[in-house]
Amino acid sequence: MSYPDIFLASSSPRRRELLAQLGVSFSLVSADIDETPLAGEAATDYVQRLALQKARAGLARTNSDLPVLGADTVVVADGEILGKPADFARFERTMQLLSGRCHQVMTAIALVNSARQLQQLVCTEVCFRRLSAAEISAYWHSGEPQDKAGGYGIQGLAAKFVQRINGSYTAVVGLPLCETEQLLLQWQEQL
């Protein structure tokens, strides 16, 4: 397979690891953006907007017209975007909300250069078993939840909470490999 050389606009080590699995040649570029949701913004619109803004911010920091890949992941329950927990109280509320229920994880990817852009949204249903207060506290104190959308990492210690998923496992981790590969191939075909 032939992929374009790209920039990855992400500081996520999980996204770097996943993209490397595709065998894509990439360089990192920072993409600091305001991640505040807009008033009344739907989760699907929010996550797609952030992925595109990250890609565009990354492009603005390069001196190249190579494509820049941006991605964003959100956890959504009852229409509410559950961000990275700022403290234990917010984390505990999030875990209580997810406990014994299914929720959505949405990952958007965007590939841009100065002339064009491609985007894709991947939605996955994740179902947690019931969690005890002791499990929630122990997970918080592991240190893993603090930098994770929705307060958990499916690829880490929280894997034991997951009864099932319907959709893309790698999208829940942070980069849907199947869809990312297809986006890169589509980009190559359009050259």
The catalytic site residues sit at 72
Q: At 155, is the secondary structure helix, strand, or coil? A: coil
Nearest to 56 by CA among 75, 34, 41: 34
Nearest to 104 by CA among 139, 149, 135, 60: 149
81 Cβ contact list (under 8 Å, min separation 6): 37, 43, 46, 74, 75
106: its two tokens:
């949405």
CA separation, residue 115 to residues 6, 93, 182 (Å): 15, 44, 19
